[in-house]
């Protein structure tokens, strides 16, 4: 491991110990991007983010008391209009779409990667902007002056009505899907970064790239060391790789964390995995 890679690991581990409110979502997304591209310098990407922030601040300062919907349009006008960020509908599964550095290079990406850009800019200019727990397609909510609008970062920051959200949800989950309060709950920056990495993880597993999957889930654990489910996934990947001792360690840690935080289902799954693993070893 190079010194650059060790530096990135230290940064992500430090974030794993920090409160959600202290996380700089774009900086950490760039660190995650650099894990796959350790040769790149992030200075130019940070400068570009500063340019977007400055442009958005100028656009919103021109109409400081604008309604929430107008503010959303101004923000989208900067990110999607002036800087040309849009969703990659043509090559959606391209792995570069889940890497913020590549997204900045190409000006296109997944909903969650583009959403991180919006969240970074919104936070820097003082907007009350948050990501939502919406399944299958990441969206944002902007609140202000007693009103709120939902933005779709993948489609140029367009605003979505409840009917639009239901249509998107049914496109993901089928015609019987219902819009629930849970789907519209705000999620933390840590959860958003994990959602970003999960896109990479699921694609790696689907492609049979299990060594790659272990790398990704390991850095997810750095970022969220108390998520028992990640330890369980690591255990499964270690079993697949034939690393039985590492798998046992992962399942044991999973069980301990799950017991501590009251996740009895995952604790039971880990205990059963350990039992089966010990049977194989014996």
| DSSP sequence for 5-49 | HHHHHHHHHHHHHS-GGG--HHHHHHHHHHHH-TTS-SHHHHHHH
What does the pLDDT read at residue 48? 98
What does the pLDDT read at residue 63? 55
CB neighbours of residue 161 within 10 Å = 10
Which helix or strand (DSSP H or E) is residue 65 part of?
A: none
Could you read off the pLDDT of 180-193 as tens digits, one per residue?
999 999 999 999 99
**Beta-strand relationship, 186-187 and 158-160:** unpaired
What does the pLDDT read at residue 282? 59
d(CA 264, CA 71): 44
What's the chain's Rg over C-alpha atoms? Answer: 20
Of 48 and 280, the one with more pLDDT? 48
Could you read off the pLDDT of 95-141 as tens digits, one per residue?
999 999 999 999 999 999 999 999 999 999 999 999 999 999 999 99
Residue 65: pLDDT above 90? no
What does the pLDDT read at residue 67? 86
Give the mean pLDDT of 28-44. Answer: 95
Could you read off the pLDDT of 132-171 as tens digits, one per residue?
999 999 999 999 878 999 999 999 999 999 999 999 999 8
Could you read off the pLDDT of 241-272 as tens digits, one per residue?
999 999 999 999 999 999 999 999 999 999 99
Its pTM stands at 0.94
Give the mean pLDDT of 228-252. Answer: 95
d(CA 183, CA 196): 17
Query: Is residue 275 classed exposed, middle or buried when 0-12, 13-18 and 19+ CB atoms within 10 A define those classes?
Result: exposed
Give the mean pLDDT of 48-77. Answer: 89
What does the pLDDT read at residue 64? 58
Q: Are 217 and 250 in contact (CB under 8 A)?
A: no
What does the angle CA 201 – CA 12 – CA 76 come to, to the nearest 5 degrees? 70
Which residues, in sequence order, are CB contacts of 183 under 8 Å at separation 6+?
132, 133, 134, 135, 165, 169
Q: List the domains of the chain with CATH numbers.
A: 3-187 (3.10.620), 189-281 (1.25.40.10)
**Of the candidates 211, 257, 256, 268, the residue with the CA atom closest to the CA atom of residue 234:** 211
d(CA 161, CA 32): 33
Which residues, in sequence order, are CB contacts of 33 under 8 Å at separation 6+?
99, 100, 101, 102
Token pair 């570009």 is at which residue?
Answer: 48
What does the angle CA 90 – CA 171 – CA 212 come to, to the nearest 5 degrees? 55
């Amino acid at each position: 491991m190079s010194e650059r890679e060790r530096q990135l690991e230290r940064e992500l581990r430090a974030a794993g110990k920090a409160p959600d409110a202290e996380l700089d979502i774009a900086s950490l997304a760039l660190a995650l991007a650099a894990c796959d591209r350790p040769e790149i310098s992030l200075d130019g990407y940070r400068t570009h983010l500063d340019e977007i922030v400055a442009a958005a601040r100028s656009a919103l300062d021109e109409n400081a008391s604008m309604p929430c919907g107008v503010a959303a349009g101004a923000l989208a006008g900067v990110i999607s209009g002036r800087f040309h960020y849009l969703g990659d509908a043509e090559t959606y599964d391209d792995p570069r779409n889940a890497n913020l550095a590549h997204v900045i290079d190409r000006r296109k990406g997944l909903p969650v990667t583009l959403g991180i850009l919006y969240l970074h800019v919104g936070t820097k200019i003082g907007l009350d902007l948050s990501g939502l727990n919406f399944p299958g397609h990441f969206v944002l909510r902007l609140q202000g002056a007693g009103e709120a609008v939902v933005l779709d970062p993948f489609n140029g920051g367009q605003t979505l009505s409840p009917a639009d959200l239901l249509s998107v949800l049914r496109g993901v989950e089928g015609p019987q899907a219902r819009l629930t309060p849970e789907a519209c709950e705000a999620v933390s920056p840590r959860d958003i970064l994990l959602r970003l990495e999960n896109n990479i993880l699921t694609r790696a597993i689907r492609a049979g790239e299990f060594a790659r999957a272990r790398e990704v889930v390991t850095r997810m654990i750095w970022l969220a060391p108390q998520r028992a489910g990640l330890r369980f996934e690591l255990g499964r990947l270690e079993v697949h790789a034939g690393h039985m001792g590492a798998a046992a360690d992962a399942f044991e840690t999973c069980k301990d964390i799950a017991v501590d935080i009251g996740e009895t289902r995952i604790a039971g799954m880990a205990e059963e995995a350990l039992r089966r693993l010990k049977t194989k070893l014996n």
